Amino acid sequence: MEITAQMVKELRERTGAGMMDCKKALTASGGDMDKAIEELRKKGLASAAKKADRETHEGSVGAYIHATGKLGVLIEVNCETDFVAKTDDFQALVKDLAMQVAASDPLVVSREELDNEMIEKERVIYREKMLAEGKPENMVDKIVDGMLEKRYYKDVCLLEQDFIKDTEMTVQDYINTFIAKLGENIQVRRFVRYSLGE
């Protein structure tokens, strides 16, 4: 199948990857857009993992105020250099992450910030629910672990939530596309979500 410039452009817009990477991924996938995206994500994740230990002392504080004026978010996103922090791509990422927090109301950035007491409280609730539904006692703990992974962490941890603009990827996957594109480690440091009356 012939890989057209339009296909490369579309893939680039959807993933943020470089033109040559997009062309290679499309060629390798025989022009299948979804497979090409998956291939680029794998590469993005690999390059993101290599950069994960690098220091992030620069960045930006972004804000999002909902149209009603009753909901607002401040978020700090860090990168390695001031140069990258000032790019349109990085600023767009910060804005998207602020909108994600506004829309999805996470409690923490990552699961490492959850204290054991909160997790245990959820575990007890899920366990009692499973027992009440008649699930076998010897299977309940496995079911509860699965529910924590698939529901609780996805609800309360920003990085594990489905990204609001593309639910095929998590917020961390979305950040990883920018790590691959900009060539720097990027981390969400913290956020605050304000809702009128709360």
Distances from the Cα of 112 to the Cα of 26, 56, 107, 135, 157, angstroms: 37, 18, 12, 30, 9
* CA atoms of 34 and 57, how far apart (whole Å): 35
* CA atoms of 150 and 44, how far apart (whole Å): 23
* CA atoms of 171 and 36, how far apart (whole Å): 19
AA identity, residue 58: E
pLDDT over 70 at 44, yes or no: no
Domains of the chain: residue spans and CATH: 5-51 (1.10.8.10), 58-109+157-195 (3.30.479.20), 115-156 (1.10.286)
pLDDT by residue (tens digit) across 156-180?
Answer: 999 999 999 998 899 999 999 999 8
Question: In which residue are the tokens 């600023």 written?
Answer: 91
DSSP 95-143: HHHHHHHHHH--SBSSGGGS-HHHHHHHHHHHHHHHHHTT--HHHHHHH
Confidence label for 74 from pLDDT (cuts 50, 70 and 90): very high
* CA atoms of 41 and 50, how far apart (whole Å): 14
pLDDT over 80 at 101, yes or no: yes
